[in-house]
Chain A
Amino acid sequence: MTAPETLMAAGFFGQPFMQHALLAGTATALAAGLTGYFLVLRAQVFTSDALGHVAYAGALGALAFGFDPAAGLLIATIATACAMAGLGLRARPDDVAIGSTFAWILGLGSFFLTLYTTRHSGANSRANVTYLFGSIFGISASQAVLVTWITLGVCVAMAVLARPLLFASLDEAVAAARGVPVRLLGVAFLALVGVVCAESTQAVGGLLVLGLIAAPAGAAHRLTSRPYLGILLSAVIGVGAMWAGLAFSFYVPTVPPSFSIMSAAALAYVAAAATTTVFGVRADHALRRNVWRSRLHLSA
C-alpha cells in the first residue's frame, strides 16, 4: 500500500532534474516574492510585465546574433529597467510610454525569432517556447547554482534597501526631504527587478514572470498591512506556490510545470482575496500607512 507512495516520494527528491528544479524554483520564487511586495506597494507591477517581455526579446536577439541568450536577456532587462527608472517613468498601470515601447520590443522579439529560425533551419525552435514559457525541469545543475547565488545577492540587496525603500515608497516627498536618495533608490530597485525577471525567465518564462511577482505579493497585501510581515508572507507564499506547482507536475506529467506553478500562485491570491472578503479582515492600508509613515518619520 505504502510502497509505491514511498517510492514516488523517493523519486520526487531523488531525481537530479527535480533537485535542480527545486533549488532553482525556490530561489526564483523567493527573489520574486521579495521584490514583488515592493512592486505592488509602489504600483509598479506593470514594470515586471514589460521586463518579462524585454527578457524574451533579449534572449531571442542574442540567439539570432549568436551570443549567449542568458547574458542577452540579463543585459536587456537591466538596461531597460535602468532606462525606465532613469527617465523617471514609474511604470504605473497607466504608463502609455512603457506600454508602447515594450509592445514594440516584443515585436522586435518576433523579428529576432524569424531571423533565428531562418538562419538555423531545423535548429531547436524549442528555445523560443523556453524563453516564452520556461522549462524548469530542464534546468541544469550549474544553472540552478547560478540562480541560487543571484537570489542570495538579491536578498542581501533587499535587506539593505528595504527600510529606506519602504520610506521612499510610502512618502516620497518626506523621505527626500530627510535626505533619503529617493531617485537613486528607485533606479537601484528597478535594476534589482531586472535581475529577478532575468533569472525567472529560465524557470517560468518571460511571459509568466509577472505571475510569480504579482500573485504572492498581491495575496500578502490582501492579508496584512504590516510591511515586514507582508514581505515575509509574500516570499513564503511564492515559495509555497512554487513547491506545490513542482510537486503537481511531477506526479501529473501531462501538465507542464509552468502552468502548475501559475495556477498555484493564482489560487493563493484568490484564496487570500476570498478569505479577507468573507471574514471582513481586510487589511486597512490607509490606516496602516499613516502609522508606518509616522514611525518612519520619527526614526529617520
Chain B
Amino acid sequence: MSGSVTAASGILATTAANPPWSWNLAADLHDMLGYPFMVNAFRAGTIVAIVAGVVGWFMVLRKQTFAGHTLAVSAFPGATAAALLGISATIGYFAFSLAAAVAIAIVSRPTRGNGFSEESAVVGVVQAFVLACGFLFAYLYKGFLGGVNAPLFGSSFAITNAQVVALGSFGAAVLAILAIIGRPLLFSSVDADVAAARGVGVRRLGVVFLIVLGAAAAEASQIAGALLVFSLLVMPAATAQRLTARPLSSIALTVGFGLVATWGGLTLAYFEPYPLGFCISSFSFGGYLLAHLSTWRLRRPRQPLATPHPVGVTT
C-alpha cells in the first residue's frame, strides 16, 4: 500500500507524467479517483478543509490573523525536527504548533484600546524564531536542499490510511472543543468587555482558542504545507464573512468554500505540474476576490458582528 503511494507520488513529482486532461470530466474524475493515493488525499483534504474553515472563521472574527499565521508556520520546525530526530511528523507538527500557541498566550497580554499594541511584536518574535528553528533543523539534517520545500509548500500527495485516521480523530477532537466553547467564544470575540462583565472567562477562552488554533494549523499543514496553511485558515472565512453576517450560515459557507478550494486544488495539482499549495491558495484567493467584487458598492459590507453592540441587542 504505502509502496504504491510513494511510487505514484513519485510519478506525479516528475512533470512528464502528469496525466492528460481530456474534456470528458466524468472519465477524468474516475481515472483520478482510481488511485488510492488520490482518494486518501481527497479524504485528508476534506477533513482539513472543514477543521481549518471552522477554526479560521473564529480566527478572522477575533482579528488574530497574525497569530494564526505564526501558528501555521510553526509546523515547519515541527516537520524538520521530526525528520532530524526520526520521529513521526505528526508529533512534530503538533508539538511545535501547540508550544507556539502557549508561548503567545503567556507572553502577550490582552490589549486595551486601539492603535499601539505590543502583542504584534510578540507574535512577530515568535514567528521569526520558530522559522529560524526550522531552518536550523533542516540545516542539521543534511537533506537540506530538497527537504525544505515539501514541509513548506505541501508538495506531498503521499498520505497513508493511518494518517487519514489520525487527521480525522484530531479534527473531531478540535471540533468537539469548539462546539463546547463556541457560544461563549463568539460572545467574547464580538464584545470582550460585555462578556467579561457577564462573567465569561475571556482570557481563559482566548488561551484555549489559541491552542485549538495551533492544533488546527498543525493538522492543516500536513496537506497544504506550513507556509500555505494560512490560505486555508484565512481565505474561506474572510470570503464568507464578506458575504453574510449570520454566524451559522457564515460558518457553513466557510466550510463550503474551503472544500471547493481544496478539492479544486487537488484536482488541478493532479492534472497540472503545479505545487498543491499554490493550487489551493489560488482557488481560495479567486473566491475571495469574487466575493469582494460582487459586493463592491452593490451594498455596504455587512459587518454587524464587528459593531460595538452586545449580541442580541439591535439598534
Contacts and interface: CB of A to CB of B under 8 A. Distances in A.
- Tell me if chain B binds chain A: yes
Interface string B111-126: 0000111111111110
Nearest to A56: B227
B118 A100 contact: no
B132 A49 contact: no
Chain A interface size, as a band, is 35 or more
Contacts of A108: 278
Interface string B238-260: 10010000000000000000000
Contact of A256 (B119, B135, B148): B135
B235 interface: yes
Given A43-B116, A101-B285, A110 B153 contact: yes
Interface stretch (B23-31, B137-145, B180-188): B137-145
Contacts of B63: 92-94
B214 interface: no
Nearest to B265: A107
B282 A210 contact: no
Contacts of A128: 148-149
A211 B144 contact: no
Interface in A202-247: 205, 207-215, 217-218, 221-222
Interface in B41-73: 60, 63-67, 69, 73
Contacts of A43: 115-117, 120
Say what secondary structure dominates the interface of chain A: helix
A104 interface: yes
A180 interface: no
Contacts of A103: 69, 228, 230-231, 234-235, 281, 284-285
B128 A208 contact: yes
Contact of A110 (B115, B228, B284, B285): B228
Most chain B C-beta atoms within 10 Å of own C-beta, residue among A40, A110, A118, A269:
A110
Contact of B120 (A208, A214, A265, A289): A214
A46, A222, A254, A255 — most chain B CB neighbours (10 Å): A46
B66 A93 contact: yes
Interface in A245-265: 254-256, 258-259, 261-263, 265
Given A114-B273, A256-B139, A104 B128 contact: no
Contacts of B139: 256, 259
Contact of A95 (B65, B230, B274, B288): B65
Contacts of B64: 93-94
Contact of B69 (A99, A101, A107, A259): A99
A189 B237 CA distance: 31
Interface string A38-71: 0011110110110001000000000000000000
Contacts of A92: 63, 120
Contacts of A49: 66, 69, 124, 127
Contact of B65 (A94, A205, A208): A94
Contacts of B176: none
Contacts of A97: 238
A113 interface: yes
A96 interface: yes
Contacts of A222: 118
A262 B129 CA distance: 6
Contacts of A273: 107
Given A114-B273, A269-B121, A211 B128 contact: yes
Contact of A213 (B118, B124, B277): B124
A230 to B, nearest CB: 12
The 5 closest A-B pairs by CB, nearest first: A211-B128, A214-B124, A218-B121, A94-B63, A107-B281
Interface of A: 40-43, 45-46, 48-49, 53, 92-97, 99-101, 103-104, 106-108, 110-111, 113-114, 118, 125-126, 128-129, 132-133, 205, 207-215, 217-218, 221-222, 254-256, 258-259, 261-263, 265-266, 269, 273, 285, 289
